[in-house]
Structure 1
Amino acid sequence: MRRIFLIALLFCSGLARAELPETDWLELMPKSDQKALEEMPEIDHNSPEANGTFSNKGGLKQSKGLPAVMYSSKTVASMNGKHIRLGGYPVPLETDAKGKSTLFFLVPYPGACIHVPPPPPNQLVLVRYPKGLKLDDIYTPLWVTGTLKVEKVSNDLADAAYALDAGQVRVVTDADL
């Protein structure tokens, strides 16, 4: 009996160290939004933001006149409360006294904070990470693991439809690819 217990303990501890499978960003969009994105016409990138000129509110807010799916904050209810691992790029919002980012948006592609149009709200995730992470470059891809919540977040920079309380944040390495 003791041998079975030890084998079970070793097996379970090995599973605890294994990473969760990657959650795809499209899993955060309802099927109707995915279909609308597939059918969306080309977007004109000629704007002041594309030329490097930003309004006083920042560059992640959606400009007027885009297809409706680009403003979508529709969420997938089954994702609420789910423990996930999501890959993306940081848009820092707050840092602690040591200069570590404790609050940031996670976006699906690099440069979303400076290119237009930004992702729709259901493709932006507010990450809360009290431990903080030193971010040297917003083009550095991250893995974020934690509990996802359907939570509408709005600030001067962006609107998000999800928030994630992160238990772990780490830089993506070559071994991950």
Structure 2
Amino acid sequence: MVNSRMDRRCFLAALGALSLLPQYVRAEEYIDIDWSDLLPEGDTVLPPALQALGAHDQSALPSQQRASSGVRTDWNGQIIRLPGFIVPLEYSGSGVTTFILVPFVGACVHVPPPPANQLVLVTTQTPYEAQGLFEPVNVIGMFGTSATVTQLAEIGYALSADRIEPFPLQSWAR
């Protein structure tokens, strides 16, 4: 009887201690999502090649942005991992602290922006040393819906990045 009570106390103490650990120290607990997961049921992603058929100049205007068909709230408050490309908005030193994560190269700069439900505003406390415009990355962090307007586009989602990792282009099989 004493051993079972002691085992239960140890177990409860361990659970309590685990809750004090920061989220990023815990095991790799995140949900892998893809850009199509951000669309409402029945909606489809327009391939980048077709999106690029719009006005193709150096100054794509937010007014040319296709209307969004809505956002999904399935992953609000969840830790997710989403691959994409960086369009920098704010820097700290030589590192990016705020950027738009986009599903394909050229989005928001060379072609009209994708709909708001295909753009994610990423913020990070630790500046990310981007290798250049449109670097492919995996972003892991707390995800949610958030209507944001920038000089480039309207954005439907936000992600507070715990971790940003380079994503090898040869792995980009989407």
Query: TM-score w.r.t. structure 2 length?
Result: 0.73
Q: Percent identity?
A: 32
* Residue in structure 1 matched with residue 39 of structure 2 by the alignment: 29
* Residue in structure 2 matched with residue 91 of structure 1 by the alignment: 87
Unaligned runs of 5+ in 2: 4-9, 19-24
Distance 1:175 1:112, change over 3 A: closer
- The answer to whether structure 1 residue 101 and structure 2 residue 102 are counterparts is no
Conservation of the 8 A alpha-carbon contact between 1:110 and 1:138 = no
Question: Which aligned pairs between 1:144-163 and structure 2 lie closer than 5 A?
Answer: 144-163=139-158
* Residue in structure 1 matched with residue 53 of structure 2 by the alignment: 45
Deviation at 1:139?
A: 3.1
Deviation at 1:118?
A: 2.0
Distance 1:44 1:112, change over 3 A: closer
Q: Structure 1: which 4+ aligned runs deviate by more than 3 Å?
A: 15-21, 173-177
Deviation at 1:74?
A: 0.9
Amino acid at match of 1:23: I
Deviation at 1:114?
A: 2.6
Q: What is the CA RMSD across the aligned residues, in angstroms?
A: 3.3
Q: Supply the distance in 2 between the matched residues of 1:125 and 1:174 (Cα, whole angstroms).
A: 20
* Residue in structure 1 matched with residue 30 of structure 2 by the alignment: 20
Unaligned runs of 5+ in 1: 65-69
Query: TM-score w.r.t. structure 1 length?
Result: 0.72
Q: Which is greater in Rg?
A: 2
